[in-house]
Amino acid sequence: MVAVIVIITALASIYLFSRGDIAGRMAFSAYRVVHNREYYRLITHMFVHGDWMHLIVNMMVFWSFGNFIEELFGYLGAAGQMHTPKLHLLMVYFGGGVTSALLSLGRNKDNPYSLSIGASGGVASVLFTSIFFAPWQMIYLFGVVPIPGIIAGVGYLFYEMQAARKANDNIDHRAHIYGALFGFLYPVLINPSFVRMFLNSFSQFPWL
């Protein structure tokens, strides 16, 4: 499932690099969603990326943590703790992207020039679902510096909140925050007993 999403997203994004007209019609526009009812943009923006770096980083992170979540959900499904695990994987990814877009509606609904592209909200959602289930799993910053997931997650949110407050770039940092929060809360929404699993992970530090 993860591989299929990565391939489709990569092919679509690469094609759209040179088709700004189509990319513009797929980008998330709060103004057009609210005033023109172009609801499809809530999802299609996830298949558009600004450049190679934007695409590669998003798909690498999604590939790494998406495969972990897909395997974990399969295990939870076999154990009877989760039904339709593949559907839940889709919900984490696309739900994070759609939620991050929906929560941005109020801020930009009267700005016809505000456009947002990329799967970052969905990727952040997958990352934080991974952190929920494996908070002490190491995340390698820049591919070399190991940091426990829960600590990396807190640092990520702190950085995104500071960046969102400054708002001096063209990155929708709030979408990253909304996606991350959705991904972290999603396991609790589908099975409240997962809270105990998360809390129990703090009673057993992996290095003790």
Question: Which CATH number characterizes residue 85's domain?
Answer: 1.20.1540.10
Q: What is the pLDDT of residues 4-44, one digit of tens each?
A: 999 999 999 999 999 988 999 999 999 999 999 999 999 99
Please indicate whether residue 8 or residue 208 has the higher confidence score (pLDDT).
Answer: 8
CA 144 vs. chain centroid, Å, equals: 22
In Å, how far are 24, 79, 174, 176 from 65, measured between CA atoms?
A: 29, 21, 21, 16
Quote the domain boundaries for residue 70: 1-204
Kindly indicate the confidence band of residue 205, based on its pLDDT and cuts at 50, 70 and 90.
low
Q: What is the pLDDT of residues 166-193, one digit of tens each?
A: 876 677 889 999 999 999 999 999 999 9
Q: What is the pTM of this model?
A: 0.91
Residue type at position 196: R
Counted domains in the chain = 1
Please indicate whether residue 88 or residue 108 has the higher confidence score (pLDDT).
Answer: 88
Residue type at position 93: Y
Please indicate whether residue 207 or residue 85 has the higher confidence score (pLDDT).
Answer: 85
Q: What is the pLDDT of residues 53-78, one digit of tens each?
A: 999 999 999 999 999 999 999 988 88
CA distance 23 to 32: 14
